[in-house]
Amino acid sequence: MKEWDARLIAARRWLLLVVLLLAAVVLGWRAVYLQWVEQDFLQGQGDARHLRVMDLAANRGVIMDRNGEPVAISTPVDSIWVNPQVYLLNEGDTKVAQLAKVLKLKVKELRQRIDTRADREFVYLKRHVSPKLADKVMALAVPGVALQREYRRYYPMAEVMGHVVGFTDVDDRGQEGIELALNERLHGVKGGKRVLRNNMGEVVEDVESISEPQPGENVVLSLDKRLQYLAYRELKVAVKTNRARSASAVILDVKTGEVLAMVNQPSFNPNNRASFESANYRNRAVTDVFEPGSTMKAFTVAAALELGKIKSSTVIKTSPGHMRIGNNTIRDAVNYGDMDITKILQKSSNIGVTKIALSMTAEEMWKSLDKLGFGLSSGSRFPGEADGKVGDYWRWSPVQQASRAYGYGMQVSALQLARAYSVLANDGLLKPISFLKRDQAPEGERVMSAAVASQVRKMLESVVADEGTGKQAKVDGYRIAGKTGTVHKSGSGGYSDDRYVAVFAGIAPASKPRLAMVVVVHDPKLGDYHGGQVAAPVFSKVMNGALRLMNIPPDDAQAIKSRQAANDAYLLRVAGGANE
């Protein structure tokens, strides 16, 4: 019995040894298998849990004015994000109250944002934060919460350039203005790199670069920020002084078709997204239309001269100060009697220009307006540009044809009107509009003879004379040509008796034109409402500074010496203001 027990114990010992040996062999084989045979698979599984591809933000292109001054730049900022899986697995919710307080969010809102996206690995908590806030968040050491480097758009000229430059959204995509129109050129291409993250979601190692970010293209605008600031300042004063609802101003280089300045009131600050209102950030000078009133009389006269229906010496009888067309009566302010063409423009006679218009067929008159670009896009490609409206000439009744002769029954934008006046300034050549700086002037299209353009320009100088309706548009030392317009605003019940649009369109210098400018003021409510009293003074102040800034010599040789000292001081003052 004892011998049997001894053998049984020995057998058990050997069995145990064999089992342990087999277990060791199996474990050793498994280790070898995992380390060598399954190495690639296991490495891939590990990498899948810890290796991630991180986007590298691309810098958006800089927008500059024509002199190379930046008006839109991108600055690096941090955004705060969270990996909900890491956050929830590592008890990040224990610090939710502290995190919510720093981010100025409600605890319930923060929890809901994370919990509803628990299956994701990346959720933004707050975009484009200040460095101070980013440091406070990271000091909390909340599991799964990290920073992402991005870029935020900054606009040094703020309200002054806002309507033209536009703005981007939080993802750096253009939403309005040049930012939207040229988004493809300005927008860069993101890069990427592979990084190793730990269980807390933190980057512990850069593994490899996949692609380098490609910055967007820089863009040079045609605008001059000095002229832009000057126009912005004077237009804002005019709106406040006249208690107007809104206003716009446009300055064009008549030789190149470049937009040198374009401003609107009310304006907005593209750096402050909280203040955005759609009524304020649209570019009214391009998107809004109005009836241009008497500023159209210059083109009615030009069309009749071109067709040989009248001569500059033609005398037209306007007595007794009113005339009937069908059931409608057209009136002048007073009975002007017999008037030549220059006098008709100078006194802005509705009867005189009506008789000129009716000397043409409706088709002839329509064709002349069409050539000047009325009712058509200027081709600037600015977002939301309005075409305006002239109407079908075959539908015009005689009174409708007459009303278009003095700017009623049709609609134009401030940009369209400025472009048409640039034709008079540029001896009959229509240049394509550009918001980008041009290296050389385009050839343009001849839409009016040089002789007729010169004649009308000379007539328009009388409007700015002491006897004209636009005498407040004068610029000391320079010959100015222009036309006033005062328009009753139309509504659902017809034309209003107490709502107006005040307009002035002008050319400077008239002797050798370089600039065309249009000023439009809607609903002036304080004092006078006429274009000659509301819009013309804005033209005078802005053009006075613009001619100095562009070093365009005065027509009056004696004025050159007397203005030189004032000119130098003015340049310093305006340049300093534009940098505010």
- Name residue 520's beta-bridge partners: 248, 503
CB neighbours of 163 closer than 8 A, spacing ≥ 6? 177, 262, 263, 264, 267, 268, 281, 282, 283, 284, 285
> What is the C-alpha separation between 422 and 254, in angstroms, rounded?
5
CB neighbours of 274 closer than 8 A, spacing ≥ 6? none
Q: Which two tokens stand for residue 94?
A: 């224990």
DSSP letter for 34, please. Answer: I
Q: For the purposes of burial, counting CB atoms within 10 Å of the CB of 5, is it exposed (0-12), middle (13-18) or buried (19 or more)?
A: exposed
* Torsion sign (Cα): 207, 210, 214, 215: negative
Residue 207: name the closest of 221, 192, 219, 195 by CA.
195
**Catalytic residue flag (residue 422):** no
> What is the C-alpha separation between 565 and 202, in angstroms, rounded?
64
- Element containing residue 53 per DSSP (H, E): strand 51-56
Q: How far is CA 435 from CA 164, 253, 442, 446, 563, in A?
A: 9, 11, 14, 22, 31
For residue 25, report the phi and psi dihedrals to the nearest 5 degrees: -65, -45
Active-site residue, selected from the candidate residues 74, 79, 294, 403:
294
Q: Which two tokens stand for residue 187?
A: 């927008």
Residues 344, 338: contact at Cβ < 8 Å?
A: no
- Element containing residue 77 per DSSP (H, E): strand 70-82
> What is the C-alpha separation between 436 and 438, in angstroms, rounded?
6
Q: For the purposes of burial, counting CB atoms within 10 Å of the CB of 371, is it exposed (0-12), middle (13-18) or buried (19 or more)?
A: buried
CB neighbours of 429 closer than 8 A, spacing ≥ 6? 423, 443, 444, 445, 446, 447
Which amino acid, 48? A
> What is the C-alpha separation between 114 and 116, in angstroms, rounded?
6
CB neighbours of 300 closer than 8 A, spacing ≥ 6? 353, 356, 357, 365, 405, 406
* Residues catalogued as catalytic: 294
